[in-house]
Amino acid sequence: MKKKILFTGGGSAGHVTVNLALIPRFLKDDWDIHYIGSEKGIERQLIEPVKGVTYHHVSTGKLRRYFDWNNFKDPFKVVKGVGEAFSIIKREKPSVIFSKGGFVSVPVVIAGKMNGVPVIIHESDLTPGLANKVAIPFASKVCTTFPETVKHLPENKAEYVGAVVRDELKSGNPTKGLSFAGFTGTKPVMLIMGGSLGAKRINDAVRNQLKDLLQTFDILHLTGKGQIDSSLQMNGYKQFEYVTDELPDLLSMADVIVSRAGSNSIFEFLALKKPMLLIPLSRAASRGDQILNAQSFEKSGFANVLLEENLTEDSFMKAVTETYEKRNTYLKAMKQDNAGDQASKIIEMIKNKAR
C-alpha cells in the first residue's frame, strides 16, 4: 500500500513554492499525494495542474493584525475549515502532513493534530508569521529557513534546515529567456518581481524612470495580477502579470533582479547567484518580516536594500545603479555560500515522522 502525504499552504505563491519543490520528489518515490488549499486562492491555480496530486478545498478566514469587521466572522470560517479538513484527513488517512503556512493551513494543521497525524511546518521568514504562530502548538516539528529563527520557536520542535529551491529553476536557459522576452541580448537584463500579488510602489518607480532605465537595461517586468500598463509599449520593456513555466529561463537571463524580500524568492536568487536589489514591504503594510529577511541578506553581502519608506524616483535610480555596479561584489559573496540539498533534509525528516 502506498504511503500518503498531505500538503497545505496558500494565500500567496510564496506559501506554495516549497511544496512545489517537494511534490516531484514524493511523486518519484511513488507516494499518494493530496493537497488542501482554499477554493479560489493562488494555491489552487498552481497545484491543480500538477499531475498526480489530488486537490481539496476548505473554508478559510484571514487572520488580521488590524481592525476589520471581518475579524468577527472569519473565526467561524476557520472553525468550519477545521471541520472540513478533519473529514478529509479522516477519510484519506495521510501518513504525514506538511504545511507551508498561510491562513488556509491553520485549520488543516489543527485537524491533523485532532486526527493524530504528524504535522511538519516550514517557516520561511526570519520570524514566524501569524498563521504559523497559531499552528505551531499543533505541530510535531518546525523547519526554519534562517538559523536565527530557531530562537523564536519551542526548543523541542525547531530545526534549522535552510532554504528549499525548486530543481527546475536551476535548469533555466538564458537564450530561451531572451527569445521569450523578445530581447537581443545586447544590453544587460533587469528582472522586476513584485511577487504574485504585485507591488504597486515598485511598479510605479520602474515606470516613472523607464526611459532612463532603458538606456542601460532591457527590462522584464512581472507586474502582479491586474497591474499591467498597456499604454507602455517600448523597445526593451516587456510586461507580464505572472509567469510559471518560463520563470527558470527568465531568471537565467537576468543580470540583476529588483524584488520584494519574500524569503522563498530571495533564496532562489541566492541559489542562482543573481545580484539583487531588495525593496521589502514596509512595516506599515506588513509585520516587518521582509525587512528582517532583507537585512539578513544585506549583512551577508548578498543584496543591496532600499527600504520602501525611502523609495523615491531618485533613490530608486541610485540603488539600481549601485547594485549593478557592485554586482561582482555580490556574486563573490554568494559564491561563498555553500548551501547543500535542503530538500533532501526535509524529505528525510518527513519520512521519519510519517506514520
pLDDT value of residue 105: 93
Question: Bridge partners of 220?
Answer: 191, 238
pLDDT tens-digit map of 92-137: 999 999 999 888 999 999 999 999 999 999 998 888 888 888 999 9
Q: Which CATH architecture has domain 168-335?
A: 3-Layer(aba) Sandwich (3.40)
Q: To the nearest whole number, what is the mean pLDDT of the chain? A: 90
Q: Kindly tell me if the per-residue pLDDT of 63 is higher than 80.
A: no
pLDDT tens-digit map of 265-303: 999 999 999 999 999 988 776 778 899 999 999 999 999
pLDDT tens-digit map of 135-162: 999 999 999 988 889 988 988 899 998 8
Residue 350's closest CA among 13, 31, 9? 31
Between 73 and 79, residue with greater pLDDT = 79
DSSP per-residue string spanning 69-125:
THHHHHHHHHHHHHHHHHHHHHHH--SEEEE--STTHHHHHHHHHHTT--EEEEE-S
pLDDT value of residue 242: 84
Q: What are phi and psi of 259, to 5 degrees?
A: -155, 160
CATH dotted code for 4-163+340-353: 3.40.50.2000
- Nearest-angstrom CA–CA distance, 123 and 172: 27
- Nearest-angstrom CA–CA distance, 289 and 158: 18
Question: Bridge partners of 221?
Answer: 192, 239
pLDDT value of residue 73: 61
pLDDT tens-digit map of 163-213: 888 888 989 999 999 999 999 999 999 999 976 555 888 999 999 999 999
Q: Where in the chain is the domain with CATH 3.40.50.2000?
A: 4-163+340-353, 168-335
Between 337 and 157, residue with greater pLDDT = 157
**Residue range 232-248: average pLDDT?**
90
pLDDT value of residue 197: 56
Q: Report percent pLDDT > 90 for the chain.
A: 66
Answering whether pTM is above 0.95, one says: no
pLDDT value of residue 327: 96
pLDDT value of residue 124: 86
Calculate ∠ Cα 345-82-163, nearest 5°: 20
Q: What is the band of 340 on the pLDDT scale with cuts at 50, 70, 90?
A: low
Of 73-77, 186-190, 206-210, 347-351, minimum mean pLDDT range: 73-77
**Residue range 334-343: average pLDDT?**
79
pLDDT tens-digit map of 23-55: 999 999 999 999 999 998 889 999 999 999 999
pLDDT value of residue 174: 97
